[in-house]
Structure 1
C-alpha cells in the first residue's frame, strides 16, 4: 500500500519538495498594468477607500513608493489588551521582474481565458496586500478584503487584471468591479481558484480549490472518474460556500449529498476526510470521497 500511495503522489504532485502553505499569511494581489501609472492623490485614495471600507486612517503616503491605510471598523486586540487595526498596503507601480505565474498555474486560468495574453501585454504591476490581519475573525477579514479589492478596481481602472497570490486566480478588473453577489460570495469569486486536472496515463481527474488557507480554512479536493467536470466544480463551489458559512464544521467521516445523474441526492452520501493535498501547493484539504466514482485508493 505504501508503494502504491507513493506512486500515486509522484503522478499527481508536481513538486514534492515544496514547503507547506502557511495558513492565514499575508493576502497579496498583483494589479497588472500595460503602462506605468502614478498613485492617485492621497485625497483621492482616502475618499475612495473610505467609501468602500468605512472610516480609516492614512498611515503612510508617498506617491513614489507606497500608501498604507488602517480601516477602523476591523479591530483586533493585542496581547496587552490594546485594540489595533490591520494595514492595507498599496505599492507604487513597478516593473515586473519575475514571472507571476508558473507553467502549472498558467493552465488553470479558467476564469480569465485571455490570461496569458494579458500577462504578456502587462510589464508593470501594482502590489496590494494586507498586513497584521491574520488575527481578524475570518469573515471580517474576507469582508474587508472584498471591499478593498473593489476600492482598488475603482482607483486603478487601467489595470488589466488582478492576480491573487495565494490562489493564482486571475480576474479582469471589470469583473472585480462588477461583482453583484454579497461579499461572502464575492470573496470566493475573487480569491479562491477551483482547478481541474486530467491525470496523465489514466482516466482519473482532479478538481480542487486553492485560496481558503488565507482564512485558516481548508480547501476541497476530488479525485474521481466518470463525472462531468462542470457538475464536480459546482459541487466543490457549494461545499466551499457551506464551509465558509459554517466555519468548516466537518469531522472525518461526515457526509455531504453526492451526485446522481448530475443532481444532488442525499441518498448518495459522499464522505469527507481531512487529508494532505495531492497537487501543489502543499496544504490541508477536505477530500470528498465520491463513492463509486472515486479514483485511487484510500488509506484506512
Structure 2
C-alpha cells in the first residue's frame, strides 16, 4: 500500500552512539526519512540551476524532471566525529539510491548541488572517505560580466566548519581551475582549517599562490579562503 505524503521513518544506528555529557549517556544516531512529497521547485532559482554541472547536457530539463522528493537526514549525530558523520551520510545516500531505483538524483541543500544517480554511484574520488564530497562539495563557475575574467568557488565546506574556496582569475583553463579547487578542498576536508592568511599553496603549473580569508564575491554570504593565482589573478591584483 502506498504510504501517505510526509510519513516519517527512522532507524537507530546502534554502532554509532553519540555521547552527551550533560545527560551522561550515549544515544544512537538515527537515520530519518521523510516523504514522499511533491517537490518544492521554489528551492531552486535560475542561478542555482545554472550551477548543476553534473546534470548535462540540459540542466533545466533535468531539474524539470524532479517532481517528488524524499528528505533524508542523520539525527542525534552532532557529537559523532565529523568524518564519521560524513561517511554515514554518503553511505545513506548510496542506500537510498539502492532502495529507490526510480530516484533520479540527490540534492544536497548545503552545497546546492544536484547529482544524478549515475554520477553519485561513480565516485569522483579514489578513497571512500571522500565519497561525501561527491554531493557535499559544489565547485561553481562564473564568467565576470564585460571582462575576460572568471570566478571559481566552492559551496558546501562552510556548512561543515571549513572555509569555502575562491579563485578569481583570468587566462586559466577552466578544467585546470576546477581540479585545483577540488584537490585543495579534499586537503582541507582531511586536514581541517589549517591554511592561515599569508600561507601559500602550490599553484597550477608551479609557483606559490598566497591565501587570505575574505568575504565571498558570490553569494551566499560567507567568509572564503581566497587564493591569489599569481599572473593569472583577476581584478588587477597580481
Q: TM-score, normalised by structure 1?
A: 0.72
Contact preservation (8 Å) 1:196, 1:207: yes
Higher RCO (CA < 8 A, seq sep 6+)? 1
* 1:222-237 pair list within 5 angstroms: 222-237=167-182
Could you say what secondary structure the match of 1:153 adopts? Answer: helix
Structure 1 gap segments, 5+ residues each: 1-36, 40-61
- Alignment equivalent of 2:141, drawn from 172, 176, 196: 196
Matched, 1:221 2:163: no
Query: How far apart are the structure 1 equivalents of 2:65 and 2:213?
Result: 41
- The 5 Å alignment of 1:71-86 reads 71-80=13-22, 81-86=24-29
Q: Does 1:208 align with 2:153?
A: yes
Question: Paired residue for 1:286?
Answer: 225
Match of 2:71 among 127, 131, 135: 127
**Structure 1 residue 158 displacement after superposition:** 0.3
* Deviation at residue 209 of structure 1 after TM alignment: 0.6
Distance 2:13 2:87 in 1: 12
CA contact (8 A) 2:5 2:36 kept: no
Structure 1 CA distance, aligned partners of 2:41 and 2:113?
A: 17
Equivalent residue for 1:277, pick from 212, 216, 227: 216
Please tell me whether the aligned partners of residues 90 and 131 of structure 2 are also in contact (alpha carbons under 8 angstroms). yes
1:86, distance to aligned residue in structure 2 (A) = 2.8
The structure with more radius of gyration:
1
4+ residue stretches of structure 1 with deviation over 6 A?
none
Cα displacement (A) at 1:124: 1.2
- The aligned residue for residue 88 of structure 2 is 144
Q: 1:184 aligns with which of 121, 129, 132?
A: 129
Q: Secondary structure at 2:204's aligned position in 1?
A: strand
The 3 A distance-change label for structure 1 pair 274 and 74 is: farther
1:139 and 1:93, CA in 2 relative to 1: closer, same or farther beyond 3 A?
Answer: same
Structure 2 counterpart SS, 1:117: helix
1:166 aligned onto 2:110: yes
* C-alpha distance in 2 between matches for 1:289 and 1:167: 23
Cα deviation per residue 1:90-138 (whole Å; 9 max; x = unaligned)?
A: 1121112443311111111111114322221232111112233333322
Counterpart residue number, 1:67: 9
Distance of aligned partners of 1:136 and 1:278 in 2 relative to their CA distance in 1, 3 Å threshold? farther
For residue 216 of structure 1, report the CA deviation from its aligned partner.
Answer: 1.1
Q: Which residue of 2 aligns with 1:295?
A: 234
Counterpart contact for 1:255–1:271, Cα < 8 Å: yes
Could you tell me which runs of 5 or more consecutive residues in structure 2 were left unpaired when the two chains were aligned: none
